């Protein structure tokens, strides 16, 4: 659990890799805690849970909790529990999301609902959610429980909001931002904030960590949604074109639709609202986005949120870890690989 590996910091590595190396011991402890706590005598549970938990995700959210706790000088062990709890909440959300969206794939592999069916996905999601709360209880911090139970409610609210905005081009940018903030940024900001809560840093620091997570989460999602139309697969996210095929209303779509002429409006209404798509439609969508600067506009927004994230952690004393969190912002926004 030392930070000695941090001395070997190599700036040619991607920030997530640097963070994973700096926090390697902590992350290994999180991994074994995840394995322990998804266990059950009902064998289907660890099978379904492992399908996602062991799928080799980047563990962005647990890394944020671990990094925030370390940044605040936390010396205990409870950050491991919280990082695992945050990952379980995320996993439960993914399991339910894939059922709700009827997704066939997750991270390029068959989704749990495809492999095991909807029923186990719903129930194992519930199980992991309960396990997350058990882990939080073990930290003995009511503040942490308060933050993460509120966050879980906000995430569900975001998911329900999204049902209404999903294929609806009348969605405003503000409504769309509210969905992103609830669905993605809320868990990012809670993940960083609880690290500070554990360490017992002053409110201003906890708030700074919350702001960092919130803005990073929004930047992450805006960039992810933009990359879906950049013709390249996101590193942490999904395959290019997925959103379009699902008729998902994201910021680039809203921008392109707002700037559209009549023919273009008809195109978006057909492909996104009616989801009647033909060969070549995705290429045409990308052309229209290029024409109206919709992708670069969304990425500019992402960068602005990213700048606010950077600003928020500037109040912390300089350290390799702070630099890595700073670099992570740029990586999240400008990853194109």
70 touches a second copy (CB under 8 A):
no
Who's near 249: CB < 8 A, 6+ residues apart? 165, 166, 167, 168, 169, 171, 176, 272
> Is residue 140 near a second copy by the rule CB under 8 A?
yes
Q: Which of 74, 127, 212, 316 binds a second copy (CB under 8 A)?
A: 127
The string of DSSP letters for 264-332 reads HHHHHIIIIIS----TTHHHHHHHHHHHTTHHHHHHHHHHHHHHHHHHHHTTSPP-HHHHHHHHHHHHH
| Dist. CA 40–CA 173, nearest whole Å | 43
Q: Are 181 and 214 in contact (CB under 8 A)?
A: yes
Contact between 42 and a second copy by CB under 8 A: the answer reads: yes
Note whether 190 binds a second copy by CB under 8 A: no
- Is the Cβ of residue 164 or residue 266 nearer to a second copy in the bound state? 164
- Biggest alpha carbon distance in the chain? 61
Determine the interface stretch with a second copy among 70-78, 118-126, 231-239, 268-276 (rule: CB under 8 A): 118-126
Q: Which residue of 99, 288, 289, 332 would you call a contact of a second copy, by CB under 8 A?
A: 99
CA distance 236 to 58: 7
Task: Name which position in 59, 113, 129, 221 contacts a second copy (CB under 8 A).
Answer: 129
Is residue 150 part of the contact set for a second copy (CB under 8 A)?
yes
The residue within the footprint of a second copy, chosen from 17, 157, 239, 308 (CB under 8 A), is 157
> Contact with a second copy (CB under 8 A): which of 50, 100, 259, 269?
100
CA distance 259 to 292: 7
3-state secondary structure of 206: helix
CA 110 from chain center: how many Å?
A: 20
Q: Which helix (H) or strand (E) holds 9?
A: none
Closer residue to a second copy (CB): 95 or 256: 95
The answer to the question of residue 161 lying near a second copy (CB under 8 A) is yes
**Count of chain residues binding a second copy (CB under 8 A):** 41
Min dist. Cβ of residue 179 to a second copy (A): 10
The residues binding a second copy (CB under 8 A) are 40-42, 44-45, 92, 96, 99-100, 118-120, 122-127, 129-131, 133-134, 136-137, 140, 142, 145-146, 149-150, 152-153, 155-157, 159-161, 163-164
């Amino acid at each position: 659990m030392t930070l000695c590996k941090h001395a070997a910091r190599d700036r040619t590595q991607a920030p997530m890799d640097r963070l994973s190396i700096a926090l390697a011991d902590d992350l290994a402890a999180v991994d074994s805690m995840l394995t322990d706590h998804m266990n059950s005598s009902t064998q289907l549970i660890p099978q379904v849970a492992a399908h996602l938990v062991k799928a080799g995700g980047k563990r962005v959210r647990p890394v944020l909790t671990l990094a925030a706790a370390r940044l605040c000088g936390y010396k205990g062990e409870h950050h491991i529990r919280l990082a695992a709890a945050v990952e379980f909440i995320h996993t439960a959300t993914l399991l339910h999301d894939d059922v709700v969206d009827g997704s066939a794939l997750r991270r390029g592999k068959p989704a749990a609902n495809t492999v095991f069916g909807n029923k186990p996905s719903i129930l194992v999601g519930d199980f992991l959610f309960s396990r997350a709360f058990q882990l939080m209880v073990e930290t003995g911090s009511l503040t942490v429980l308060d933050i993460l139970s509120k966050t879980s409610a906000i995430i569900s609210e975001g998911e329900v909001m999204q049902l209404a905005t999903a294929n609806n081009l009348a969605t405003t940018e503000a409504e769309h931002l509210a969905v992103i903030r609830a669905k993605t940024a809320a868990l990012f900001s809670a993940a960083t904030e609880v690290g500070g809560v554990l360490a017992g840093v002053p409110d201003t620091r906890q708030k700074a960590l919350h702001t960092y997570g919130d803005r990073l989460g929004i930047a992450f999602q805006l960039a992810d949604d933009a990359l879906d139309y950049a013709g390249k697969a996101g590193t942490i996210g999904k395959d290019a074109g997925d959103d379009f095929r699902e008729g998902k209303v994201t910021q680039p779509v809203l921008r392109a639709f707002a700037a559209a002429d009549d023919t273009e409006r008809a195109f978006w209404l057909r492909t996104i609202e009616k989801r009647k798509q033909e060969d070549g439609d995705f290429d045409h969508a990308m052309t229209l986005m290029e024409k109206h600067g919709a992708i670069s506009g969304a990425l500019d927004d992402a960068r602005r949120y990213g700048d606010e994230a950077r600003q928020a952690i500037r109040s912390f004393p300089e350290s390799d870890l702070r630099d890595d969190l700073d670099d992570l912002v740029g990586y999240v926004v400008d990853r194109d690989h």
